[in-house]
């Protein structure tokens, strides 16, 4: 008996039992199911939700691998023993630090998904496949694993399952997890120590009296927020040889991922484009404020305000958030017109918060979460436009 | 007068097994089945009983809600059996056909001198009324209401369907008479649309407003055309009729006979020699299907209608009342190893997520009935809009139907749609939601609550 028929027999055996969703989740991972159409269309397109989610994951894999190299590269650079970027040494550090993040993220998240599926008797939906990959990419490399586990549990249960699971949630689950980490453990999520592996540990050793140099792994945004010059070139920013969350640094790879998503028609180009436009507009406004002389150089906002408007696209989490998080179809606007407004406001507000948030100079997370909340409102007004047209047609007729 | 309609949003699904333009007489089947379920929303009240002899065109049941609407036997013969289902619901009327067909004579009808009332009564009595459907709700037209316009789509754009230009050849006289009669039933216009690139017998008709349609499916759907020509508002009614049924109406008016004969396309990748057959409404399809290369013990899906909105029928099933196409495609009840992530070349996709149908836009596909994935909640957005040309928000109206918000359904345009308008969005749905069933349920709810 082949694997195929063995699994088929098992599926028949589990049918109707509590364990059926859990078994089916594993079974359908191996085999596209033998389900056929019944009523309605007798044929269907080749795509399903698994394929869709898988495409998004493929777009993120380069960022993950780059993140592994970068973690080691930044570590050695900060500790004064630089290594080549594409070296085994650099990759090894990244691998042992980041792989556990991925494993914990998927392990905890999927366990909860399976649990809910079994309790509520529905199939395990694929939404977490993308969330589980996003989470390790948007946290600092040294995030303790237990924190991540707590945050994932919170995000999946409160951010998604209480609303009814995949497709029903209001807030992007990955950002809910990130926001939970940010507000629950702020010292691990911001500052100048968390972005480089080993920096936190080193500062603890120093506090305990060890005679060592302090390690600073400040992000570009962090330096700018404090009015310092950054030592990174534009090319570094674009290619991603800078400190930051695991997967957010390489604008180039994110750009390629974004183009891939647009090409495969999985990601919304409307949201990506309008978000970039929104960010550029806000950046230009700030540049205008600076050149008009409305703000003095001693102001604490001067550093970020005077950053050239298009540099905002290269630094921080803006590119990553725009391409992979703002485009989440469940929490974004669902109408095409609404997507333009939604994306534009995300870009616009991201840069606004980034400049005016003194404690934590990054705004993409909060901007997207905020717009997640407003997306249904945007859609409502877009759809009302269509409804009003229909009403007008009726009035013209009866008049 | 000719007005062009061009549709940009849509999708032509190219499948193997299109019918060759050759007509054969199907072996006359001895059994004829009329299924009340073909007429949505009709509760049948029997006129004929088991054992009764009926002529072709003689009423066999009527609608309980609208008693004037009669349903007639397509053949002359003896009522063999009336099987019933749950709650004694009538499933079908099986009729054994006579060797010599006798027609009930309704008399030659002079349309020119007739009033609209007398035309209506004539069509109701002779069993031609059920051919006329109405929107809103996509059910048999209510004879008490007067439609603001009548729409006839002479362009079939759905995959593999019978070509009207071919099946209507030589039927100009019948079509014209039927149009004349229908023209008297509405104060508005009779809109007829034909393919821009075809030569349809319909384009020579008098007393109609002709529209030339081009663009991908669903440009030929009558719902798309209504939306572009004269959309339905609240409180308005329009009627729609399939052109092949105009021929039956026309023949009845000209000769007094209800002749249920119809040219049917037998298509699909499981058919070895796909072509046209002359057969009758309700006749058994088994011989026609199996004589033309469909394997007898093969694993195939037989569909009365097209692959997007037809009905699944059993091998001993019959042609339904409204269809002029029989499609046979392979069943897809098998597993596919890592089917969800490996590159796909042999299936159609509207994305490019390792699916490569975009590379070969003219390739003809051999699709089976596999759903290619499991049923999920709505997740993706924006992909329905690419194939949905109506001025309506498809995702929002589907959700309104699911949570049964009547006000919202009405506001979003429920009066304008029929299930078949959502066939393409259902085809491309990544979450494998049953769009047409959702819309049908929504429409039924509206009939019940609003009427």
Question: What is the domain extent for residue B430?
Answer: 371-449
Q: What is the dihedral of CA A369, A379, A153, A347, to 10 degrees?
A: -30
**Secondary structure of chain B: what % helix, strand, coil (to 5)?**
25, 25, 50
**Has residue A283 been placed in a domain?**
yes
Check CB contact of A35 with chain B, cutoff 8 Å.
yes
C-alpha distance from A26 to closest chain B C-alpha (Å): 11
Residue A256 belongs to some domain of the structure: yes
d(CA A56, CA B123): 58
B349: nearest CB among A47, A164, A332: A47
The predicted structure's pLDDT at residue B417? 93
One domain, residues B56 and B115: no
- pLDDT tier for residue B336 given thresholds of 50, 70 and 90: confident
Q: Are residues B73 and B112 in the same domain?
A: no
Q: Would an 8 Å CB–CB cutoff place A399 in contact with chain B?
A: no
Confidence class of residue A81 from pLDDT cuts 50, 70 and 90? confident
Q: Could you tell me if residue B222 is inside a domain? A: yes
For residues B374-398, average pLDDT? 91
Q: Which of A116-120, A200-204, A245-249, B56-60 has the lowest mean pLDDT?
A: A200-204
Residues B112, B246: one domain? yes
Beta strand pairing status for B2-6 and B275-280? unpaired
One domain, residues B121 and B244: yes
Over residues A244-252, mean pLDDT: 89
Same structural domain, B82 and B150: no
| Residue B2 pLDDT > 60 | no
Nearest beta carbon to residue B382 from set A39, A123, A268: A268
Nearest CB partner across the interface for A36, out of B370, B435, B436: B370
Note the ipTM here: 0.88
Q: Considering chain B, what percentage of its residues have pLDDT values greater than 90?
A: 50
Q: What are the chain B neighbours of A30 within 8 Å (beta carbons)?
A: 337-338
Residue A306 at interface with chain B, using a CB cutoff of 8 Å:
no
As beta bridge partners, residue B284 has B318
For residue B195, what are the β-bridge partners? B213
Q: Does residue B245 fall inside a structural domain?
A: yes
- Would you say residue A305 lies in a domain? yes
Asked whether residue A291 is assigned to any structural domain, the reply reads yes
User: How does A137-175 read in b/e, with b if 16+ C-beta sit within 10 Å?
Assistant: bbbbbbbeeebbbbbbbbbbebbbbeeebbbbbebbbbb
Q: What's the gap in Å between the CA of B354 and the closest CA on chain A?
A: 8
Last residue within a domain, chosen from B255, B281, B306? B255
Computed from CA positions of residues B410, B415, B420, B423, in that sequence, does the dihedral angle turn out positive or negative? negative
In a domain, B138, yes or no: yes
My answer on whether B91 and B217 are in the same domain is: no
- Put simply, whether A39 touches B (Cβ < 8 Å) is yes
Averaged pLDDT, B24-51: 88
In a domain, residue A325? The reply is: yes
How many domains, chain A?
A: 1
Instruction: Give yes or no for A358 touching B (CB within 8 A).
Output: no
Residue A358's pLDDT is: 65
SS3 B193: strand
Facing residue for B335 by CB, picked from A8, A336, A389: A8
- Domain interval for residue A269: 251-386
Tell me what pLDDT residue B1 has: 45
Among chain A residues, the shortest Cα distance to B334 is held by A34
- Predicted confidence at residue A399, as pLDDT, reads 64
Counting one residue from chain A and one from chain B, the pairs whose CB atoms sit within 8 A come to 227
User: Which residue bears the tokens 């364990």?
Assistant: A19
Q: Do residue B337 and residue A4 have CB atoms under 8 angstroms apart?
A: yes
CATH of the domain at B37: 2.40.50.100
Q: What pTM was estimated for this model as a whole? A: 0.90
Distance, CA of A199 to CA of A195 (rounded, Å): 8
pLDDT of residue A58 exceeding 60, the answer is yes
The pLDDT tens digits of the residues spanning B289-335 come to 888 777 877 888 999 999 999 999 888 888 989 999 999 999 888 88
Q: Could you tell me if B158 and B39 lie in one domain?
A: no
User: Does residue B93 form part of some domain?
Assistant: yes
């Amino acid at each position: 008996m082949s694997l195929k028929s063995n699994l088929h027999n098992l599926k028949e055996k589990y049918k109707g039992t509590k364990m059926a969703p859990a078994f089916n989740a594993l079974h359908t991972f191996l085999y596209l199911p033998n389900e056929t159409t019944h009523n309605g269309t007798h044929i269907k397109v080749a795509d399903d939700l698994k394929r869709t989610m898988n495409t998004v994951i493929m777009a993120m894999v380069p960022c993950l691998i780059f993140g592994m190299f970068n973690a080691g590269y930044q570590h050695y650079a900060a500790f004064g023993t630089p290594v080549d970027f594409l070296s085994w040494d650099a990759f090894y550090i990244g691998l042992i630090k980041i792989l556990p993040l991925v494993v914990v993220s998927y392990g905890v998240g999927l366990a909860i998904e399976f649990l809910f599926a079994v309790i509520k008797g529905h199939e395990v939906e694929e939404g977490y496949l993308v969330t589980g990959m996003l989470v390790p990419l948007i946290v600092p490399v040294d995030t303790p694993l237990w924190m991540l586990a707590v945050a994932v549990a919170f995000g999946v249960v409160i951010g998604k399952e209480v609303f009814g699971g995949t497709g029903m949630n209001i807030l992007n689950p990955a950002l809910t997890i990130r926001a939970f980490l940010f507000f629950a453990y702020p010292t691990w999520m911001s500052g100048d120590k968390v972005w480089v592996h080993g920096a936190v540990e080193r500062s603890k050793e120093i506090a305990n009296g060890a005679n060592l140099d302090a390690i600073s792994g400040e992000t570009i945004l962090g330096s700018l927020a404090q009015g310092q010059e950054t030592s990174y070139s534009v090319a570094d920013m674009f290619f991603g040889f800078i400190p930051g969350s695991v997967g957010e640094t390489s604008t180039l790879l994110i750009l390629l991922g974004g183009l891939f998503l647009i090409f495969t028609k999985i990601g919304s180009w409307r949201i990506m484009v309008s978000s970039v436009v929104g960010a550029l507009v806000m950046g230009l406004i700030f540049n205008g404020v600076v050149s008009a002389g409305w703000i003095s150089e001693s102001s604490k906002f001067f550093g970020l305000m005077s950053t050239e408007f298009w540099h905002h696209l290269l630094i921080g989490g803006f590119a990553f958030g725009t391409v992979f998080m703002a485009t989440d179809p469940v929490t974004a606007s669902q109408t095409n017109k609404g997507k333009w407004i939604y994306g534009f406001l995300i870009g616009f507000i991201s840069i606004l918060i980034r400049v005016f948030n003194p404690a934590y100079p990054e705004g993409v997370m909060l901007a997207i979460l905020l717009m997640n909340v407003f997306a249904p409102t945007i859609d409502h007004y877009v759809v009302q436009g269509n409804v009003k047209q229909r009403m007008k047609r009726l009035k013209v007729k009866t008049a | 007068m000719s007005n062009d309609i061009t549709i940009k949003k849509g999708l032509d699904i190219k499948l193997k097994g299109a019918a060759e333009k050759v007509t054969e007489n199907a072996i006359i089947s001895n059994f004829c089945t009329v299924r009340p379920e073909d007429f949505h929303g009709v509760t049948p009240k029997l006129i004929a009983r088991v054992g009764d002899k009926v002529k072709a065109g003689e009423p066999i049941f009527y609608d309980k809600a609208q008693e004037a609407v009669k349903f007639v036997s397509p053949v002359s013969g003896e009522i063999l059996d009336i099987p019933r289902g749950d709650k004694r619901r009538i499933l079908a009327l099986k009729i054994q056909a006579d060797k010599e067909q006798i027609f009930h004579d309704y008399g030659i009808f002079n349309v020119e001198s007739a009033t609209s009332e007398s035309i209506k009564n004539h069509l109701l009595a002779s069993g031609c009324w059920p051919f006329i459907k109405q929107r809103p709700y996509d059910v048999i037209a209510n004879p008490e209401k007067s439609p603001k316009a009548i729409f006839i789509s002479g362009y079939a754009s759905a995959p593999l369907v019978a070509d009207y230009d071919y099946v209507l050849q030589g039927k100009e006289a019948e079509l014209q008479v039927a149009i004349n009669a229908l023209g008297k039933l509405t104060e508005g216009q009779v809109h007829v649309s034909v393919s821009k690139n075809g030569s349809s017998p319909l384009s020579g008709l008098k007393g109609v407003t002709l529209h030339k349609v081009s663009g991908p499916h669903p440009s030929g759907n009558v719902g798309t055309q209504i939306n572009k020509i004269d959309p339905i508002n609240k409180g308005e009614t329009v009627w729609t009729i399939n052109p092949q049924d105009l021929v039956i109406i026309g023949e009845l008016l000209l000769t007094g006979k209800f002749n249920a004969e119809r040219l049917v396309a037998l298509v699909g990748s499981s058919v070895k020699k796909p072509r046209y057959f002359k057969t009758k409404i309700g006749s058994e399809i088994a011989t026609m299907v199996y004589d033309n290369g469909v394997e007898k013990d093969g694993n195939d899906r037989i569909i009365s209608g097209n692959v997007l909105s037809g009905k699944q029928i059993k091998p001993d099933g019959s042609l339904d009342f409204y269809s002029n196409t029989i499609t046979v495609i392979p069943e897809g009840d098998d597993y596919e190893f890592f089917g969800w992530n490996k590159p796909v070349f042999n299936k159609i996709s509207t994305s490019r997520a390792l699916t490569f149908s975009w590379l070969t836009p003219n390739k003809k596909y051999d699709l089976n009935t596999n759903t290619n994935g499991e049923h999920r909640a709505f997740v993706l957005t924006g992909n329905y809009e690419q194939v949905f040309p109506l001025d309506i928000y498809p995702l929002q109206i589907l959700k309104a139907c699911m949570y049964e918000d009547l006000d919202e359904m009405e506001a979003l345009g429920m009066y304008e749609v029929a299930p078949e308008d959502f066939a393409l969005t259902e085809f491309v749905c990544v979450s494998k939601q049953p769009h047409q069933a959702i819309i049908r349920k929504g429409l039924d709810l509206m009939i019940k609550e609003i009427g």
